[in-house]
Amino acid sequence: MSESTPVIAVQGLTKHYGGVKALTDAEFRLNPGEHVAIVGDNGAGKSTFVRLITGVEQPSRGDILMDGQPVAFDSPLDAREQGVETVFQNLALAEDLDVPANIFMGREITRLNLGPLSILNHRAMRAQSVEMLSTTGVKIQDLSEPMRGMSGGQRQCVAIARAAGFAKKLIILDEPTAALGVQETARVEEIIRGLKARGVPLIIISHNLRQVFDLVDRIYVFRQGRIICSRLKSETTPEEIVGLITGAIDPASLPQAEATTC
Ligand SMILES: Nc1ncnc2c1ncn2[C@@H]1O[C@H](COP(=O)(O)OP(=O)(O)OP(=O)(O)O)[C@@H](O)[C@H]1O
Ligand SMILES: [Mg+2]
């Protein structure tokens, strides 16, 4: 496999719900170690794109390649087993389970591995949960309470801690700091920088352009169900990105810099 084989490449990816064209002919690639942002107005198709590449939903048409090989994930669990961790916009946590059970769902630590009769190592999972959550800076008094009673920010931190802790091949964050306070947002941004240092590729969806320009290498702009442009951060500005999002700037009018596709 060559150095330049993308971690993930998407060709012609399309999802139509009856007459609603949520995503049409999306072309996307993420290079090894790269961090990219996806930006666009509400309803532009960003979460649809994430659901398609993580197996939550199946595309109407189009191809997804990971490390150059076609993939078709049946479910987010299938994607996780292959190293793709996602924090979904709706979080996908089990309301009735506590924090360690949510963090270790599907990869429980056992004291004795007897298949379905395995004895779970609750102490180890609890200790690791405390450690993983500490990276987000969130305060949760009692980890053994079910998720149901937790705030939006606490839930978001549990989902982020889980994804960052287990991500091997790729991490996808759909508006990860939307419900977070200033300090928790700063901690999550530190986690993202740590993933960059570890070489874990990342896709972040965010409406916060300050955050986008602080964190990523490249920006994909979604507009009305299409990917209209990809811009290297070093070759664009927040004003240009806003113009692309709103339609005030026509992507065809931009200079075609190297490694920047529009
Ligand atoms: N299950 C569905 N059935 C019908 N339409 C859908 C479905 N899911 C999404 N859509 C539509 O597809 C379009 C894209 O939705 P999507 O959730 O991908 O937007 P988004 O870019 O993530 O927006 P936001 O910034 O608000 O999260 C919207 O018009 C939405 O109403
Ligand atoms: Mg969304």
The structural domain count of the chain equals: 1
Put simply, whether the predicted model's pTM sits higher than 0.75 gets the answer yes
Model confidence pLDDT, tens digit, residues 30-83:
999 999 999 999 999 999 999 999 999 999 999 999 999 999 999 988 998 888
CA distances from 56 to 59, 72, 74, 100, 216 (A): 10, 11, 7, 23, 25
Residues with CB under 5 A from ligand 2 (ion): 46-47, 89
CA of residue 15 to ligand 2 center, whole Å: 14
> Is 43 close to ligand 1, i.e. is its CB under 6 Å away?
yes
| pLDDT over 90, % of the chain | 53
211, 240 Cβ separation under 8 angstroms? no
- The answer, yes or no, to whether residue 259 has pLDDT greater than 80, is no
Confidence of residue 26 (pLDDT cuts 50, 70, 90): very high
Residue 90, Cβ density class (10 Å: 0-12 exposed, 13-18 middle, ≥19 buried): exposed
The tally of CA atoms less than 13 A away on the side-chain side of residue 63 is 8
CA distances from 234 to 58, 217, 218, 230 (A): 34, 8, 8, 12
The domain of 157 spans: 8-253
- The answer, yes or no, to whether residue 256 has pLDDT greater than 80, is no
What CA–CA distance (Å, rounded) separates 129 from 100? 6
In a domain, 62, yes or no: yes
Ligand having the closest approach to the CA of 41? 1
Given CA atoms 135, 136, 142, 147 in this order, what sign does their dihedral have? negative
Three-state SS at 44: coil
Mutate which of 15, 38, 46 for ligand 1 pocket (most atoms within 8 A of beta carbon): 46
User: Looking at residue 233, which CATH number applies to its domain?
Assistant: 3.40.50.300
Q: Which two tokens stand for residue 66?
A: 């990971």
Q: Which atom of ligand 1 is nearest to the CA of 49?
A: 18
Given CA atoms 214, 215, 217, 221 in this order, what sign does their dihedral have? negative
In a domain, 84, yes or no: yes
CA of residue 174 to ligand 2 center, whole Å: 7
> Is 224 close to ligand 1, i.e. is its CB under 6 Å away?
no
- The answer, yes or no, to whether residue 193 has pLDDT greater than 60, is yes
Model confidence pLDDT, tens digit, residues 140-155:
888 888 988 888 778 8
> Is 45 close to ligand 1, i.e. is its CB under 6 Å away?
yes
CA of residue 109 to ligand 2 center, whole Å: 33
Other C-beta atoms within 10 Å of 234: how many? 10
Alpha carbon of residue 192 to chain centroid: 11
Q: Whose CA is nearest to atom 19 of ligand 1?
A: 43
106, 43 Cβ separation under 8 angstroms? no
In a domain, 223, yes or no: yes
Per-residue pLDDT at 187: 83
In a domain, 156, yes or no: yes
What CA–CA distance (Å, rounded) separates 244 from 250? 7
CA angle, residues 223, 22, 258, in degrees to nearest 5: 40
In a domain, 261, yes or no: no
Model confidence pLDDT, tens digit, residues 2-23:
568 999 999 999 999 999 999 9
> Is 15 close to ligand 1, i.e. is its CB under 6 Å away?
no
Model confidence pLDDT, tens digit, residues 88-101:
877 777 888 899 98
In a domain, 230, yes or no: yes
In a domain, 237, yes or no: yes
> Is 17 close to ligand 1, i.e. is its CB under 6 Å away?
yes
Model confidence pLDDT, tens digit, residues 156-191:
888 888 888 888 899 999 998 887 888 888 888 988
What CA–CA distance (Å, rounded) separates 172 from 199? 14
In a domain, 3, yes or no: no
